[in-house]
Amino acid sequence: MNKTKLAKCDVAVSEIVLGTWVMGDDEYWGHSDELESIKAIQTAYEGGVTTFDTAFAYGNGKSEKLLGKAIKKMPREQITVFSKLWRKDMTRDRVIPACEKSLRFLGLDYMDTYFIHYPSDSGVPIGETMEELMRLKEEKKIRSIGVSNFNFVQFKEAQKYGDIDVIQPCYSLVWRFIDGPEFKYYKRNNIAIVPYSPLAQGILTGKYNDKTKFSKEDGRSVAPLFQHPYFDGALKVVDILKQLAEKYKKTPAQVAIRWLIQTTGITAPIVGGRGSKQVAENLKAVGWVLSEKDYDRLDKASREFTETLPNFRNFFDATILPVQK
């Protein structure tokens, strides 16, 4: 597994980042087995993954605590840990205590990147949050600052108050809202991009069909891409993935992750997995190459689909918002 740097800063990132949301016993995903989750993290590490993503919001600290247990014996200087500040903690008085609490849960003295999970939904001025994050950086409790789920305008505003090295948007073959001038800006300015949900929460593994239904308790039951007709359009992209998977003797998930790894401007995808078997499968997205022709074929099918998508509020909320000019 190759390693790269998080753009302008010295934080090392493995070619695949392991996401641990599903391991947090979070209500969005339902119950997860702790021992199996720890085994999955260990499997990833043994396969060369040295970067792990978590957040306080994943099960109110449960994912952070679980990751803390799993990384306890790993040499600190060899691993990179991302966590995230939740919305309720964005005011001046709460940022530093929230970070310190996450560090306690993780069993760490410092975090490699601390992301603002979402823009404030209660009018907290972004300058206030950013100034506190810069203080955390000065105190060496965090090595770099990232923002997640910020639109371009929100990113530019946040950048006025401190150094942002990395963004964490949703981005995959079936969700490409940052494409265009925004993506070009990040590339030009060496802002790292670590996209989440690269398998579109399982769609791109090819295991679903148009009859698939999720229980009401599963967050995917209301997520935009799982609603018709968008689901049907996404499944057409999966058809191409399946053809390429057969050609390369890979799985659709491996091809979907590979496409992201080969996309210029993407630093490393954050891939989730429910257990060690899924994680082991996903690691096989490294060590081989999609030909330029096949990459382009997939890219074209992806664009044809994503350009039909309305302006959803986000990946988890199918509310359609007016397009801002």
Ligand X SMILES: NC(=O)c1ccc[n+]([C@@H]2O[C@H](COP(=O)([O-])OP(=O)(O)OC[C@H]3O[C@@H](n4cnc5c(N)ncnc54)[C@H](OP(=O)(O)O)[C@@H]3O)[C@@H](O)[C@H]2O)c1
CA atoms within 13 A on the CB side of 288: 17
The region of 4-12, 173-181, 221-229, 274-282 touching ligand X under the rule CB under 6 A is: 274-282
Minimum CB–partner distance for residue 34 and ligand X (Å): 15
Q: How would DSSP label each residue in 175-212? A: B-TTTTHHHHHHHHTT-EE--B-TTGGGGGGT---TT-
Nearer to ligand X, 255 or 290 (CB): 255
Query: d(Cα 3, Cα 37) in Å, to the nearest integer?
Result: 24
Tell me the pairing of strands 17-19 and 166-168: unpaired
Hunting for tokens 């849960």 — which residue is that?
A: 105
Interface residue with ligand X among 129, 149, 267, 306 (CB under 6 A) is 149
- What is the contact mask toward ligand X in residues 111 to 130, using x (rule: CB under 6 A)? ------x-------------
Query: d(Cα 65, Cα 75) in Å, to the nearest integer?
Result: 18
Binding to ligand X by residue 255, rule CB under 6 A?
no
Binding to ligand X by residue 20, rule CB under 6 A?
yes
Minimum CB–partner distance for residue 243 and ligand X (Å): 18
- Please indicate whether residue 208 is annotated as part of the active site: no
The region of 100-108, 132-140, 235-243, 271-279 touching ligand X under the rule CB under 6 A is: 271-279
Handedness of CA 298, 299, 305, 309 (dihedral sign): positive
Structure tokens of 139? 């105190």
Write out the binding residues for ligand X, residues 194-253 only, by CB under 6 A.
Answer: 196-202, 205, 207, 253
Alpha helices of 8-151 — where are they, by DSSP H? 34-46, 62-71, 92-106, 126-138
Is 62 in a helix, a strand, or coil? helix
Q: How would DSSP label each residue in 270-305? A: EE--SSHHHHHHHHTTSS----HHHHHHHHHHHHHH
Nearer to ligand X, 95 or 271 (CB): 271
Interface residue with ligand X among 83, 113, 129, 282 (CB under 6 A) is 282
Binding to ligand X by residue 144, rule CB under 6 A?
no
Catalytic residue among 45, 58, 161, 208: 58
Q: What number of chain residues touch ligand X (CB under 6 A)?
A: 27
- Residues of this chain that bind ligand X (CB under 6 A): 19-22, 53, 117, 148-149, 168, 196-202, 205, 207, 253, 270-274, 278, 281-282
- Residues designated catalytic: 58
